[in-house]
């Protein structure tokens, strides 16, 4: 049986300036990889950063590399080769990577909110609550939960027959593929709402945690400084990711294909492009210990190179 090929129509409006879009996309992708890899290496090499908060942040950077690598190569290839088609297997693989990236990002942000809540609201108990063993369990559970909910969603999609193959996005989206089905998709739709409710519950947990964190931080100047340095980056990341992912989910289900396709595609890709690039910049600049460790490592390498060649 011949494998179905899907046509990704989200890049149709970029054909006249595809070289410019390709150059810009390649630059952003390489910059995303460089910044995330650099900060992952910085945290891995500095034993002072082997603390729960920094390990959770490192997981966020690793997930950013994973998510960016699931979408950029295909989009860049489509721009330069002008052949925006993808096989059924490739489409399901891309859906799995993109959705597991999104679910992992949200779950990781929930775990980080719990960590910061414990650190600021229960500082004397922090070391006994957030142990190394608990950090390892939280990281493992983050990925297991992510993979489970993604596998269920993709599994439900793979059982469907399709009557069409045109996807109004520059990448494969689960709901866009489901809408091409010839059969009843009530189960897929119901599972989608279950996922939305699940992550809505996570969002509520994060918001409640930060209400308590802000209350505790207002009690003293020291706690407020700690909040600004370690919690504000997390809050910015959470708001940016939640708004952009919610927009994509709601637009896919209820939006109309009106206006510029290029603008629609950029807005619907925001949660895949901005967080992997923005997260390391936010944490690298705002979290003092990461910034100092990076500058220390960079100055050491620069000095070593100067001594070697000069």
- Summarised one tens digit per residue, pLDDT across range 139-183 is 999 999 999 999 999 999 999 888 888 888 888 888 889 989 888
309 pLDDT band, cuts 50/70/90, is very low
Taking residue 171's Cβ as centre, other Cβ atoms within 10 Å add up to 26
Cβ atoms 82, 18 nearer than 8 A: yes
Tell whether the model's pLDDT for residue 270 goes beyond 70: yes
259 pLDDT band, cuts 50/70/90, is low
What's residue 297's pLDDT? Answer: 63
Tell whether the model's pLDDT for residue 298 goes beyond 80: no
Question: Strand, helix or coil at 225?
Answer: helix
Phi, psi at residue 162, to the nearest 5°?
Answer: -120, 145
Tell whether the model's pLDDT for residue 287 goes beyond 70: no
Q: Measured between alpha carbons, how far is 310 from 306 in angstroms, rounded to an integer?
A: 5
229 pLDDT band, cuts 50/70/90, is confident
What's residue 115's pLDDT? Answer: 92
| Average pLDDT value for residue range 188-200 | 89
Cβ atoms 95, 14 nearer than 8 A: no
Tell whether the model's pLDDT for residue 260 goes beyond 70: no
Helix and strand totals (H; E) in the chain? 11, 3
- The model carries a pTM of 0.86
Which of 23-27, 167-171, 273-277, 302-306 is least confident? 302-306
Above pLDDT 70, what percent of the chain?
Answer: 85
| Mean pLDDT estimate for the chain | 83
Which of 138-142, 153-157, 229-233, 295-299 is least confident? 295-299
Cβ atoms 154, 95 nearer than 8 A: yes
Tell whether the model's pLDDT for residue 262 goes beyond 80: no
What's residue 307's pLDDT? Answer: 52
Sheet holding 166-167, edge to edge: 85-87, 5-8, 166-167
Tell whether the model's pLDDT for residue 305 goes beyond 60: no
Q: Calculate helix-pair angle for 18-45, 288-309, nearest 10 degrees.
A: 100
Domains and CATH numbers, the chain: 5-302 (1.20.1070.10)
Give the tokens for residue 48: 């002072």
Residues with Cβ < 8 Å from 160, sequence gap 6 or more? 178, 181, 182, 183, 185, 188
86-137 tens-digit pLDDT = 999 999 999 999 999 999 999 999 999 999 899 888 888 999 999 999 999 9
Which DSSP helix (H) or strand (E) runs through 24?
helix 18-45
Above pLDDT 90, what percent of the chain?
Answer: 32
Paired sense of beta strands 85-87 and 166-167, if any: unpaired
> How would you classify residue 58: left for phi > 0, otherwise alpha for psi between -120 and 50, otherwise beta?
alpha
């Amino acid at each position: 049986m011949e494998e179905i090929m899907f046509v990704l129509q989200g890049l149709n409006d970029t054909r006249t300036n595809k070289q410019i879009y390709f150059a810009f996309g390649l630059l952003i992708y390489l910059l995303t990889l460089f910044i995330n890899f650099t900060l992952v290496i910085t945290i891995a090499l500095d034993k002072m950063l082997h603390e729960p908060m920094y390990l959770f942040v490192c997981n966020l950077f690793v997930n950013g590399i994973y998510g960016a690598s699931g979408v950029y190569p295909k989009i860049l290839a489509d721009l330069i080769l002008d052949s925006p088609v993808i096989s059924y297997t490739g489409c399901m693989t891309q859906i799995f990577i993109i959705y597991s990236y999104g679910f992992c990002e949200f779950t990781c942000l929930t775990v980080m909110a719990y960590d910061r809540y414990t650190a600021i609201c229960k500082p004397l108990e922090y070391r006994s609550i957030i142990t190394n063993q608990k950090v390892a369990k939280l990281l493992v559970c983050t990925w297991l939960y992510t993979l489970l909910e993604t596998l269920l969603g993709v599994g439900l999609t793979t059982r469907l027959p399709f009557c069409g193959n045109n996807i109004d996005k520059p990448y494969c989206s689960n709901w866009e593929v489901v809408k091409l089905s010839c059969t009843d998709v009530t189960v897929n739709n119901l599972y989608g709402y279950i996922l939305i409710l699940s992550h809505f519950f996570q969002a509520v947990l994060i918001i409640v945690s930060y209400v308590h964190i802000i209350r505790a931080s207002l009690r003293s100047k020291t706690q407020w400084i700690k909040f600004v340095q370690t919690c504000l980056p997390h809050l910015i990341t959470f708001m940016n990711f939640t708004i952009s992912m919610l927009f994509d989910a709601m637009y896919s289900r209820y939006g109309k294909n009106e206006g510029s396709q290029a603008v629609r595609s950029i807005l619907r890709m925001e949660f895949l492009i901005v967080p992997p690039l923005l997260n390391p910049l936010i944490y690298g600049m705002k979290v003092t210990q990461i910034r100092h460790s990076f500058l220390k490592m960079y100055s050491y390498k620069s000095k070593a190179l100067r001594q070697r060649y000069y």
